[in-house]
Amino acid sequence: MNDSMWRLVWHVNVPQRVRVFLWLLFHGRILMNVECGRRHLTTSLICPIYGLADETIEHVMPSCAYAQKMWRGVVFPNRVNDFLSIQFDVWLSTNDSGEAGSSWSLEREWPVLFVIICWMLWKHRCSLIFSQDVGRFRDVVSFSQNFRDDILAATINGSVVHTCPRSAARWTLPLDGWVKGNSDGAVGGPDRMVAAGGVLCGDTGECFRKVELETDNSLAVEILLGHSLALNSSALVSDLKAMIGRRWEVRVTHILREANRVADGLASLARGEWHYIVAPLEVSSKVDADLVGL
């Protein structure tokens, strides 16, 4: 991959898992049925959605009738035929780079939306294979647009918006009568285990009714406050919102990572399920610094 193609893949403002998918797409490494057949992993080369053509990357992304329904939902009606007839590698690179975005659609941040729709096309193809559920194309377009909006809301020029400079960000003690909970996630340990860390500070008696939750995950805050539709159907998100809605006062706040050092340190330990009354040695200095405002 040349330098310009590398920049197209890794500089687009989408989550890392979507960038990895895009990298595989540029390299032709997505395992469609034709590629699976070449590797003797399947005997059928046909597209599993409509069965009208061999399933190649070029077919799944712009050519399949299911994909075309999605693209017709976001591309100008008088340009959609031109959009769908471009040579695949040119189609992929010009839309990912944003070179042709305004000529196809009025959608904001076209490269972001374009890449997300490609990713969703692949996810829904896999849903059909593994759970026989294709989903309605209108729902996919709507989800892609909401996902794009969530990314833009969480970042400006790639950075979370804060009036406080990072160098001045500090954890603060909870107000009297309040309990403060900080949380963070990490991937670490020899097995690259996904882990989470949390810490409570304040009046932790059995009858506390005021809780402030802080995290440096801006999208999680948007979801819990109802400002984002991402993961709206998730059982975990529903349970968390139900807990927040109980008979107590709860504040959910986004903070900078520099003000979330203890939770970040606990998550980075990646030790499995542990409960500490006294801070473990690895984060004790961070606890001391927080308590004195350093």
Nearest to 181 by CA among 164, 196, 168: 196
pLDDT for the residue numbered 161: 46
193-202, strands of its sheet edge to edge: 193-202, 179-188, 210-215, 249-254
CB 87 within 8 A of CB 74: no
Six-digit token pair at 199? 């810490």
What are the b/e assignments for 53-71, b being 16+ CB within 10 Å? bebbbbbbbbbbebbbebb
What number is the average pLDDT over the span 61-67?
86
Residue 59 has pLDDT above 50, yes or no: yes
Ordered by where they begin, the domains of the chain are 3-154 (no CATH), 170-291 (3.30.420.10)
- Note the pLDDT tens digit of each residue in 185-224: 776 555 556 778 888 887 655 567 788 888 888 778 878 8
What number is the average pLDDT over the span 12-38?
85
pLDDT for the residue numbered 158: 42
What number is the average pLDDT over the span 247-268?
82
What number is the average pLDDT over the span 105-110?
77
Nearest to 166 by CA among 254, 255, 253, 284: 255
Q: Is 220 helix (H, G, I), strand (E, B) or coil?
A: helix
Residue 17 has pLDDT above 70, yes or no: yes
* 260 vs 128, higher pLDDT: 260
Residue 155 has pLDDT above 70, yes or no: no
Q: Is 32 helix (H, G, I), strand (E, B) or coil?
A: coil
